[in-house]
Structure 1
Amino acid sequence: MNSRPDLPKLLLDNLLTAVILLDKHLIVRYVNPAAEQLMGVSARRLLDHALEQVVDYISLDLERLRHCLIQGQGFTDNEVTLVVENEPRSVEVSVIAVYDHQEQMALVELRKIDQQKRISQEQQQHSQQLAARDLVRGLAHEIKNPLGGLRGAAQLLEKALPDEQLKEYTGIIIAQADRLRNLVDRLLGPQRPGRHQVHNVHSVLEQVRRLVEMELPPGIKIERDYDPSIPDFEMEQEQLQQAFLNIVRNAVEAMHGHGTIKLKTRTVFQITIHGKRYRLAAEIRIIDDGPGIPENIRDTLFYPMVTGKDGGTGLGLSIAQNLIDQHKGRIECVSWPGHTEFCIYLPLRK
């Protein structure tokens, strides 16, 4: 059979897998039609541009990619967030070092994570979060019992002390015991759903907006984009309000005094939440254009005591997730520099 110099390109052009070829400077030298389709960008806009220039954000470790080129080694990353034109995609990435005319290059394969795999990953992550939450609650219960005894003993000691100056120390013990008790109560959070009644989710969001705007710095504004077709549904209004409030306040604190928060709602159809299929659900998105969530805490964001803020307790998002769980809903987050988006799904019909 005659060798055909164009055969490798012909094969790559017809692959269903997205393929990008990068040189040692991470400049795009080739992109196949499957990659154009996955990224939603034409080859003309990708070719001869640095990878970092053609995507808004990619969670792939680019230093690792450069090291792969130098060492001639490959690697796989099972979940990478790729953002192009403000649209996030979750992909599995495999990198192979190849040679082209004695030049070291990287062949990058991108595979979109399918729905079933995503559901499996979400269920596994949710189980881990529940286990972590239960562990913290168990520890909180163990702390709460002796804490009550400690406070009671300090009160008795205060009454028995003849010297008023010494009572200052028992006062400190009591105040710190109360502070710990408040922290423990927040760790325990609401254990079971409250009384559910039919309400409108937009009235809940509007109440959150009014509360936040009372304390909002002048450089931050809140925009709304509501879907009026979302029907009223059964909810524990105060619990959902607390969940939304925790997320919005988190956004305000992260934005350093300027930026925009958007409250957006939509109706979604045929959605799986925690392994159950629902015909209809309300989608609530809380979006900000702040600095983004630090990459090192994104995977553990909803775990108790995890925070990216100095002096933060790391309880706000964990409590929000707990309250959403009690409504049989799901909360997820996607973030990159300049964009953070919390998405809450609340089932309306099975």
Structure 2
Amino acid sequence: MLAGYGYILEKLMKEIDKYTILENLHTAVVLLDEHLHILYLNAYAEMLIGISAKQIINISMKNIVANSPGFIENVQKAVAEEEQSCTIREQSITFVSGKSVLIDYTVSRGNDGNIIVEITQIDHQRRISKEEQFFAQSHAMHNLAKGLAHEVRNPLGGLRGAAQLLEKELVEDDLKEYTKIIIEEADRLQNLVSRILGDSKYVVKKVHVNIHQVLEHVRQLMLIDNHKGINFYTDYDPSIPDVCIWQDQFIQAILNISRNAVEAAKAGGMVLFCTRIVRQAVIGVHRYKLAVKIDIQDDGEGIDEEIIDSIFLPMISSRPDGTGLGLSISQSIVFRHGGIIECESKPGCTVFSITIPLEDDLGERQ
């Protein structure tokens, strides 16, 4: 009798191990019966389709894949011909959730007669390659900034010293105001250089903050100098928990993007701040159970297609008077939070999306 229970337990543990492996794959796996009803889908498949497993178990795959008859036909063909496996490459499909993706997929039949569909998102692989390129560029820019900081530090000391000597020689208070500004700005730049070079005196800890407080702070700053009469709108998800960030740097990242949005928006146009929770978010090669997505949208003319893939590089700007540093700096800051900034643009609607993982650790940065 005990031997029988042992066999059942061993079989159960094997099943648990199998599904644990499936749940941690970066490939979508969907199990169908012979009538194409969904019996199981892993966590990555939930994320890809955009609907939870509880909602679509026992639902026909025909009702999940909308306006993509080729996908269903290929699955049915594989079933009818009882092929061991069939692989289709680079097919665009649209799910009933409205999400469209470019995929490779393999259809195979299991020993129990059920159908296994393995789906790889091709545009996601391309996105990973682009993100890896961004990370490399961010690292190179950080090294460049360190090199420039070394060159700037010594002249700053001389500039401050000369301003102090000049202040002692001046009699008029009005003129002393100018030297005071020079000294204050030299001190500010000196502090910035020290942070870039990693001076331990300027190490700042991460803090848990409400992301909407950060966005509202930036929005208030933008309203102070709202000479174009821009209308600012918000669409916040109140369920988002506090995020763990380097607050001053993250504010700077949001501010840079918001300023660009205001510059791009039409006079009297709009800028929208939107927040959402993202489940099973994939950033680079890492997957996170929960992430925060911040969208900053404007109604401007859009970004030229020729430069949209390189707008996060230094010295690349869509404006004739732009320096091309704001977005590059913002991307570097967000990378240091384990996140990424992405952009989609068309005439009348440009959206910069910041995605960062929700985490509880309190780290340090220099």
Per the normalisation by structure 2, the TM-score is: 0.54
CA distance, structure 1, for counterparts of residue 302 and residue 215 of structure 2: 22
Q: How far has the Cα of 1:274 moved from its partner?
A: 3.3
Deviation digits for residues 206-235 of structure 1, max 9, x if unmatched? 111112112113531011111111111322
C-alpha contact 2:312 2:331 (8 A) present in aligned 1: yes
Q: Counterpart amino acid of 1:228?
A: P
C-alpha contact 1:222 1:262 (8 A) present in aligned 2: yes
CA distance, structure 1, for counterparts of residue 251 and residue 331 of structure 2: 12
Q: Counterpart amino acid of 1:282?
A: V
| 1:123 alignment counterpart | 132
| 1:336 alignment counterpart | 346
| 1:254 alignment counterpart | 264
C-alpha contact 1:136 1:304 (8 A) present in aligned 2: no
Change (3 A) 1:88 1:144: farther
| 1:47 alignment counterpart | none
| 1:210 alignment counterpart | 220
Q: The residue matched to 1:287 in structure 2 has which SS?
A: strand
CA distance, structure 1, for counterparts of residue 275 and residue 163 of structure 2: 51
C-alpha contact 2:195 2:203 (8 A) present in aligned 1: no
CA distance, structure 2, for counterparts of residue 90 and residue 144 of structure 1: 50
Structure 1 residue 132 corresponds to structure 2 residue 141: yes
The 5-angstrom pairing of residues 74-223 of structure 1 reads 113-146=122-155, 148-149=157-158, 182=189, 185=192, 194-217=204-227, 219-223=229-233
Unaligned runs of 5+ in 2: 1-64, 70-97, 104-120, 361-366
| 1:231 alignment counterpart | 241
Q: Counterpart amino acid of 1:248?
A: S
CA distance, structure 2, for counterparts of residue 257 and residue 273 of structure 1: 35
Q: How far has the Cα of 1:147 moved from its partner?
A: 5.5
Per the normalisation by structure 1, the TM-score is: 0.56
Q: The residue matched to 1:264 in structure 2 has which SS?
A: strand
C-alpha contact 2:236 2:275 (8 A) present in aligned 1: yes
Q: How far has the Cα of 1:285 moved from its partner?
A: 0.4
CA distance, structure 1, for counterparts of residue 68 and residue 194 of structure 2: 46
Aligned pair count?
242
Unaligned runs of 5+ in 1: 1-33, 39-86, 93-111
Q: The residue matched to 1:332 in structure 2 has which SS?
A: strand
Structure 1 residue 324 corresponds to structure 2 residue 324: no
1:312 to 319, 322, 325: 322
Q: How far has the Cα of 1:89 moved from its partner?
A: 7.1
| 1:285 alignment counterpart | 295
C-alpha contact 2:132 2:284 (8 A) present in aligned 1: yes
Change (3 A) 1:184 1:349: closer
Give the alignment's Cα RMSD to 1 decimal. 4.3
CA distance, structure 1, for counterparts of residue 314 and residue 190 of structure 2: 12
Q: Counterpart amino acid of 1:240?
A: F
Q: Counterpart amino acid of 1:265?
A: T
C-alpha contact 1:193 1:327 (8 A) present in aligned 2: no
Q: How far has the Cα of 1:241 moved from its partner?
A: 1.9
Change (3 A) 1:152 1:203: closer
C-alpha contact 2:257 2:326 (8 A) present in aligned 1: yes
Q: Counterpart amino acid of 1:138?
A: G
C-alpha contact 2:135 2:335 (8 A) present in aligned 1: no
| 2:32 alignment counterpart | none
CA distance, structure 2, for counterparts of residue 193 and residue 123 of structure 1: 27
CA distance, structure 1, for counterparts of residue 194 and residue 312 of structure 2: 13
| 2:61 alignment counterpart | none
Deviation digits for residues 152-190 of structure 1, max 9, x if unmatched? 57987x69x9xx9xxx9xx99x97xx78x9599589869
Q: Counterpart amino acid of 1:196?
A: K
Q: The residue matched to 1:114 in structure 2 has which SS?
A: helix
Give % identity.
45
